[in-house]
């Protein structure tokens, strides 16, 4: 089991994991009415630093805006949010890479199915940085479940309740002996994994589904595109058919908790002879260096916390 650190920020104060609780009558529990983000905090020579902290704050705010949670943003500036993250990291005295999960919970009691004008609390907790996919390579299957479309529950908002879709899809994959799934949209185009974005390589071009493909606008995804541009790899954001995965030169997943994970198999079909491709390997190495502040040209992504 993944280890969760004991010190938690909850409702404007530091407390313990045991005491950071929500009522069974709150909107967060009754309707899954919470939005969240997960960001890496890495240990380098200079101490702990957060990766793209500002972007994670903005995505958290945007998720709240999309869902109509309108009482959080005015009370929580980026500076205040950053200080809360720093406080949690300091309180837990981390000495390893971790993930930080920050969540806005709607805590009004029995308000009905609405989102505006309701009370919120912020929770922030830390857990060990255990990858959600096998680092040496993942086996994927096409899910029997389709991705929820943007006109039903928007994928670009990280809404807790919406992740039932991902749970159904990943459990189906696990039950079938795979590591994770490929979610398709209603038209059969590739969206993403249960909790990670996806890239393929064809003819030396790095390709990923576009934002209109019912996917999360992943921060790691954007980082991969920026790294690829900087090192001269051609990129394309467009619809991807499932069969393109079967004939791709390389496939990899990416995300905060997935890092950069090569995909070795899709629907029993081997990818790149089950080897890590050269573009995947190069981007993975650079990404890990960027995370740990070892690439000076990407220092803008790193926020010192201690």
Last residue of a domain, one of 65, 96, 128: 128
**Alpha carbon distance 77, 119 (integer Å):** 17
pLDDT tens digits, one per residue of 176-211: 999 999 999 999 999 999 999 999 999 999 999 999
Other Cβ atoms closer than 10 A to 109: 12
pLDDT of residue 306: 76
pLDDT of residue 1: 82
Indicate if 169 and 273 belong to the same structural domain. yes
What CATH number did the domain enclosing 264 receive?
Answer: 3.20.10.10
Indicate if 142 and 109 belong to the same structural domain. no
Indicate if 14 and 124 belong to the same structural domain. yes
Indicate if 143 and 259 belong to the same structural domain. yes
User: In this model, does residue 54 exceed pLDDT 90?
Assistant: yes
What CATH number did the domain enclosing 79 receive?
Answer: 3.30.470.10
Query: What are the distances in angstroms from CA 155 to CA 35, 147, 196, 213, 246?
Result: 12, 9, 12, 9, 25
Query: What are the distances in angstroms from CA 97 to CA 51, 103, 130?
Result: 11, 20, 9
| Phi–psi pair at 143, nearest 5 degrees | -75, 145
| Res. 45 pLDDT band, cuts 50 70 90 | confident
Contact 139, 53 (CB under 8 A): no
Indicate if 65 and 158 belong to the same structural domain. no
Indicate if 241 and 172 belong to the same structural domain. yes
Indicate if 152 and 100 belong to the same structural domain. no
pLDDT of residue 9: 98
**What are 266's two structure tokens?**
């899709």
pLDDT of residue 90: 96
pLDDT tens digits, one per residue of 159-182: 999 999 999 999 999 999 999 999
User: In this model, does residue 154 exceed pLDDT 80?
Assistant: yes
pLDDT of residue 46: 81
Contact 42, 97 (CB under 8 A): yes
Task: With respect to residue 245, please indicate whether it lies within any of the assigned structural domains.
Answer: yes
Contact 108, 69 (CB under 8 A): no
Nearest 10 degrees: Cα torsion 180, 214, 55, 297:
70
pLDDT tens digits, one per residue of 209-249: 999 999 999 999 999 999 999 999 999 999 999 999 999 99
User: In this model, does residue 51 exceed pLDDT 80?
Assistant: yes
Last residue of a domain, one of 77, 93, 128: 128
Supply the mean pLDDT for the chain: 97
Task: With respect to residue 304, please indicate whether it lies within any of the assigned structural domains.
Answer: no
Last residue of a domain, one of 93, 128, 163: 128
Task: With respect to residue 305, please indicate whether it lies within any of the assigned structural domains.
Answer: no
| Res. 131 pLDDT band, cuts 50 70 90 | very high
Rounded percentage of the chain residues whose pLDDT exceeds 90: 96
**What are 109's two structure tokens?**
């009691």
**Global confidence as pTM:** 0.96
Indicate if 103 and 143 belong to the same structural domain. no
Contact 244, 189 (CB under 8 A): no
Domain count within the chain? 2
**Structural domain span for residue 151:** 138-291
Indicate if 285 and 152 belong to the same structural domain. yes
User: In this model, does residue 293 exceed pLDDT 80?
Assistant: yes
């Amino acid at each position: 089991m993944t280890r969760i650190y004991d010190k938690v920020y909850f409702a404007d104060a530091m407390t313990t994991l045991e005491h950071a609780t929500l009522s069974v009558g709150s909107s967060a529990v009754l309707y899954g009415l919470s939005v969240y983000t997960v960001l890496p905090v890495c240990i380098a020579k200079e101490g702990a630093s957060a990766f793209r902290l500002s972007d994670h704050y903005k995505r958290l705010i945007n998720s709240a805006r999309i869902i109509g949670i309108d009482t959080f943003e005015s009370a929580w500036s980026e500076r205040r949010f950053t200080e809360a993250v720093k406080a949690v990291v300091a309180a837990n005295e981390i000495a390893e890479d971790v993930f930080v999960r920050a969540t806005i919970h709607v805590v009004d009691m029995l308000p009905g199915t609405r989102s505006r004008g309701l009370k919120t609390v912020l929770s922030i907790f830390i857990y060990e940085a255990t990858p959600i996919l096998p680092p040496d390579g993942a086996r994927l299957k096409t899910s029997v479940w389709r991705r929820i479309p943007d006109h039903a529950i928007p994928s670009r908002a990280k809404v807790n309740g919406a992740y039932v879709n991902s749970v159904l899809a990943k459990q189906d994959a696990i039950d079938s002996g795979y590591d994770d799934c490929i979610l398709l949209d209603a038209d059969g185009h590739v969206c993403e994994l249960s909790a990670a974005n996806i890239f393929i390589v064809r003819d030396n071009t790095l390709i990923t589904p576009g934002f209109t493909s019912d996917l999360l606008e992943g921060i790691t995804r954007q980082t991969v595109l920026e790294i690829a541009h900087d090192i001269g790899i051609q990129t394309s954001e467009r619809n991807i058919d499932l069969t393109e995965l079967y004939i791709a030169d390389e496939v990899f997943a990416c995300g905060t908790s997935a890092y950069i994970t090569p995909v070795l198999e899709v629907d029993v079909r081997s990818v790149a002879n089950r080897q890590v491709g050269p573009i995947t390997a190069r981007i993975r190495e650079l990404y890990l260096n960027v995370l740990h502040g070892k690439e000076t040209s990407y220092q803008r992504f790193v926020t010192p916390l201690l």
